[in-house]
Amino acid sequence: MKIAVVGTGYVGLVTGACLSDLGNNVWCVDVNEEKINALKNGEIPIYEPGLEDLVMNNFRAGTLKFTTKIHQALADSDICFIAVGTPMGEDGSADLHYVLGVAESIGQYMDHHMYIIDKSTVPVGTAQKVRAKVQEELDKRGSSLTFDVISNPEFLKEGTAISDCQRPDRIVIGTDNDNAAKVMKELYLPLVRNNENIIFMDIASAEMTKYTANAMLATKISFMNEISNICERVGADVNKVRLGIGSDKRIGYSFIYPGCGYGGSCFPKDVQALIKTSKDFGYTTKILNAVEEVNFEQKHVIPRKVVERFGEDLTGKTFAIWGLAFKPDTDDMRQAAAITIINELTKRGAKVKAYDPKAEKEARVCYLKDNKNVEYCDSKYTVLVDADAMILVTEWKEFRQPDFIEIKKRLKNPVIFDGRNQFDAHSLSDKGFEYYQIGVSS
Ligand code: NAD
Ligand code: UGA
């Protein structure tokens, strides 16, 4: 099939690479010239395991191409994915101006029938707005070309994006048109085990499914973080509680890990956008507001523990941070808990030394660029030298079984704050560490 993917970010690049790998001819389009030039030179703009090989193999084979010119891609495609960002607007709603900007360009440049697929996460009603925008542009040209708008939300997660895309749990397709449904089925059948994994529905339900999935996952995390806060106060251990409840198949183990609050480009903005959509339609959310409130407070739990141990004034103290990205296996820093933790510590006079296997550039250039009290180090051990304590924020694999003798040698005090409950408390206590976790009283 001949496909254009407009927006070459986490979703667009992964989708384009995976679809081209199936033998489709794919154009990835982006307005960011630097990004497209880098891709043409074999440089992958983001860190995502497996992505570089997949992109380069298909780029070399000629099935995956990059351009800044949407008209070039549209001329050579029958299907056009919209995969641009939908960031949080000032009032919490999803900012649709990138999506509608793409719709406008499609209407201006398409020269034959197109299947236009919304892959960006967008509120109910957006497909209608996309349809109206494309039609408006066709009308301006006096064109009678036809097109279909389909909702096809994306459920991949960063760090495992390739396998999520190649072996999805399900594909959700929102369409009211049989031909469009047939084309979508043909496109996706190679990725799913059987027809049942492709779920067809009306467009509004498909748009709503995406927000519901993210809101449900965010709710599980905030619920468990709230439980962890209770555990700490009543003398229970949330790690044991998690095992105790996860073993009930109705509850399950996934997404009940307490931590320092969910981050990333999606849960925070999507929960907010759903709250706003509800409000616009006259319903005031209750659970979703609490999910966000708990998450906001959770990002302050580690700084509070540090203050309880070292005092409100942290002048003269240095803290070593392990992990900056919002989760392991990505360099994405959007809404990362590390940002709040580091800013809370430095606000109280502390200095911070930070190490992340992949996210240093993002942190340095974008997210912590105004914070002059952060020094970046190139390994998990050098970052510890002369620090008053170590704080684990992101659970990268290389942090899971560190050499605690090396850690103790470098730290000024053998103190560890663990925002992801990665280590064994008894073993650390035997080794002479003071060990603070989430959801365990100390
Ligand atoms: P991103 O910010 O990484 O990438 C978006 C890209 O779109 C950027 O490169 C930008 O330059 C480009 N762009 C903006 N306007 C354009 C235009 N008019 N023409 C061409 N390119 C344009 O975003 P992302 O993380 O890939 O997210 C995209 C959408 O997918 C969002 O709605 C997001 O909520 C959703 N989503 C993201 C993930 C994820 O893990 N990141 C997962 C599922 C769904
Ligand atoms: C999430 C969803 O998992 C994807 O299905 C969805 O497509 C995507 O959002 C999106 O719409 O963009 P992602 O944000 O990449 O994917 O990563 P997750 O693995 O969901 O983690 C999100 C945050 O929750 C991270 O900060 C992580 O540390 C935190 N988390 C996750 C917990 O605190 N506890 C858990 O048990 C699980």
Among protein residues, the one with the nearest Cα to ligand 2's atom 28 is: 327
Query: What is the helix (H) or strand (E) element at residue 221, kind and residue range?
Result: helix 203-234
Pick the last residue of a domain from 146, 176, 201: 201
Ligand 1 atom nearest 332 alpha carbon: 41
Averaged pLDDT of the chain = 97
Residue 398, helix vs strand vs coil? helix
Calpha distance 106→78 (Å, rounded): 12
Length of the chain in residues, anyone? 442
Q: What is the predicted pLDDT for the residue at 353?
A: 97
Using CB distances shorter than 6 Å, the residues near ligand 2 are 121, 154-158, 214, 217, 221, 255-257, 259, 262-267, 326-327
User: Structural domain tally of the chain?
Assistant: 3
Q: Is 12 in the pocket of ligand 1 (CB under 6 A)?
A: yes
Q: Which structural domain range is residue 269 located in? A: 211-296
In the reported structure, the alpha carbon of residue 11 is separated from the centroid of ligand 1 by a whole-number distance in angstroms of 6
- Where residue 255 falls (left for φ over 0; alpha for ψ -120 to 50; beta otherwise) is left
Structure confidence by residue, pLDDT tens digits, 323-342: 999 999 999 999 999 999 99
Calpha distance 179→168 (Å, rounded): 23
Q: What is the CATH number of the domain that holds 287?
A: 1.10.1040.10
Q: What is the predicted pLDDT for the residue at 172?
A: 98
Residue in the structure block whose two tokens are 């616009």:
280
Query: What is the helix (H) or strand (E) element at residue 375, kind and residue range?
Result: strand 374-376
28 is catalytic: no
What is this model's ipTM?
A: 0.98
> In this structure, which ligand is nearest to the CA of 438?
2
Pick the last residue of a domain from 268, 296, 324: 296
Say if residue 442's pLDDT is above 90.
Answer: no
Calpha distance 282→276 (Å, rounded): 10
Q: Which of 217, 228, 257 to mutate to test the pocket of ligand 2 (most atoms within 8 A of CB)?
A: 217
Instruction: Let me know whether 304 and 364 are in one domain.
Output: yes
Query: What is the helix (H) or strand (E) element at residue 355, kind and residue range?
Result: strand 351-355
Pick the last residue of a domain from 201, 227, 250: 201
Note whether residue 442 is domain-resident. no
Q: What is the predicted pLDDT for the residue at 17?
A: 98
Q: What is the CATH number of the domain that holds 11?
A: 3.40.50.720
Alpha carbon of 68 to those of 35, 40, 41, 42: distances in Å? 9, 11, 14, 16
Instruction: Let me know whether 225 and 195 are in one domain.
Output: no
Q: Which of 8, 265, 267, 332 to mutate to test the pocket of ligand 1 (most atoms within 8 A of CB)?
A: 265
Note whether residue 206 is domain-resident. no
Note whether residue 335 is domain-resident. yes
Query: Can you read off the two tokens belonging to residue 116?
Result: 């236009």
What is the pLDDT confidence band of residue 415, given thresholds at 50, 70 and 90? very high
Instruction: Let me know whether 67 and 95 are in one domain.
Output: yes
Q: What is the predicted pLDDT for the residue at 256?
A: 98
Q: Is the pTM of this model over 0.95?
A: yes
Calpha distance 394→323 (Å, rounded): 4
Residue 419, helix vs strand vs coil? coil
Calpha distance 258→250 (Å, rounded): 19
Instruction: Let me know whether 227 and 87 are in one domain.
Output: no
Q: What is the predicted pLDDT for the residue at 193?
A: 74
